[in-house]
């Protein structure tokens, strides 16, 4: 997929929603889907979100980059990104037996989503990413970490690699994808239908 490299907003204000993107160094496939990689991603995401209060609405982890649509209630997005990226880099490097940088030296792309339509469309963009890249016919077929609907949640056990079971981190965490604060007049089921339609449009275009 293609998008402009956008530096983080100078002003981080509470309650804003964003599309965040970060690539692996030299676009290497360092996040290639596997059971262990998926578990590491989910565990680190859930930890970072619970620590900072950042709300996750849509996530897609491709082999060499990830996208997320988030809302930042307490203006702690930089802390969320720093915590997630640092922890996942250490854990994934341990899993892969490597020591070099996991992430590109480019800054994380952070795009402010101004309107409700912006949030919905970037959620659809995120979910449709594997199909847009020509990798699968349907987002549900992507074997990596991806959300396909509003309100998904799962319990993630501490991975066996890197993390110390005797340490201070929890043995399990809950990764929750919440409803974004858009279209307050719509019930969640109606919003879910709008999202599904937006994803389907992108999937049809990609095919």
Q: Is 178 exposed, middle or buried (0-12, 13-18, 19+ CB in 10 A)?
A: middle
Residue 146 DSSP label: B
E-strand ranges in 24-139 read 55-61, 65-72, 109-113
pLDDT tens readout for residues 124-182: 999 999 999 999 999 999 999 999 999 999 999 999 999 999 999 999 999 999 999 99
The helix or strand, by DSSP H or E, that contains position 19, with its residue range, turns out to be: strand 16-23
Q: In what order do the strands lie in the sheet with 55-61?
A: 55-61, 65-72, 16-23, 109-113
| β-pairing verdict for 16-23 and 109-113 | antiparallel
Cβ proximity of 21 and 109 under 8 Å? yes
- Give residue-wise pLDDT tens across range 2-42: 444 444 455 789 999 999 999 999 999 999 999 999 999 99
Contact (Cβ atoms closer than 8 angstroms) between residue 126 and residue 60: yes
- 104 contacts 5 by C-beta, under 8 angstroms: no
Query: Rounded to whole angstroms, how far apart are CA atoms 121 and 81?
Result: 22
Calculate ∠ Cα 118-180-183, nearest 5°: 70
Residue range 66-112, pLDDT digits in tens? 999 999 999 999 999 999 999 999 999 999 999 999 999 999 999 99
Query: C-alpha distances in angstroms, 193 versus 19, 67, 178, 190?
Result: 21, 21, 15, 5
């Amino acid at each position: 997929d293609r998008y402009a490299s956008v530096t983080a907003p100078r002003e981080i204000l509470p309650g804003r929603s964003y599309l965040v993107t970060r690539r692996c160094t030299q676009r290497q496939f360092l996040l290639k889907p596997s059971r262990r990689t998926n578990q590491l991603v989910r565990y680190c995401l859930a930890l970072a979100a619970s620590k900072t209060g950042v709300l996750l609405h849509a996530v897609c982890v491709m082999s060499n980059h990830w996208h997320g649509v988030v809302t930042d209630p307490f203006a702690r997005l930089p802390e969320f990104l720093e915590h997630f990226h640092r922890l996942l880099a250490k854990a994934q490097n341990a899993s892969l037996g490597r020591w070099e940088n996991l992430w590109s030296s480019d800054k994380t792309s952070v795009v402010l989503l101004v309107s409700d339509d912006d949030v919905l469309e970037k959620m659809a963009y995120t979910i449709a990413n594997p199909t847009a890249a020509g990798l699968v016919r349907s987002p549900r077929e992507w074997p990596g970490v991806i959300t396909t609907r509003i309100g998904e949640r799962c319990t993630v056990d501490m991975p066996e690699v890197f993390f110390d079971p005797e340490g201070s981190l929890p043995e399990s965490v809950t990764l929750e994808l919440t409803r974004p604060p858009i279209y307050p007049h719509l019930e969640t089921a109606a919003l879910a239908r709008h999202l599904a339609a937006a994803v389907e449009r992108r999937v049809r275009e990609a095919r």
